[in-house]
Amino acid sequence: MIIYRPNKVTLAEAMEESKQFESEKDMKEYIISDWGTAFEKPLFTIDDIVIDEESKMNDPRNGWKDTKYVCIKRLGSVDYVKKYGCPQAIGFCATEY
């Protein structure tokens, strides 16, 4: 099991939209569908979604013990790795919650 919450202005808003999934793949498929499309093409693919293992932290605010950034390498035609040197965070996930 894995839990995901999108990046929002407040933690309360993000937690309202948190969802649990059976697998990381299920979570990534949900994220793709949640973000929608542009010109009938997904804004990114499963391969563009990465979990930043180095960002692992305990978040006492919600009890997630192994919170990590969920990032995307690109959005549409914008390659974040090329533009900024790293993927950009769009949310958080954890397996110990």
DSSP 63: T
Q: Give this prediction's pTM.
A: 0.92
pLDDT score, position 93: 98
pLDDT score, position 7: 96
In tens, the pLDDT along 36-93 reads 876 778 899 999 999 999 999 999 999 999 999 999 999 999 999 999 999 999 999 9
Domain residues for the domain of 61 are 2-94
- H-run or E-run covering 76: none
Q: What total number of domains does the chain contain?
A: 1
CA distance 60 to 57: 10
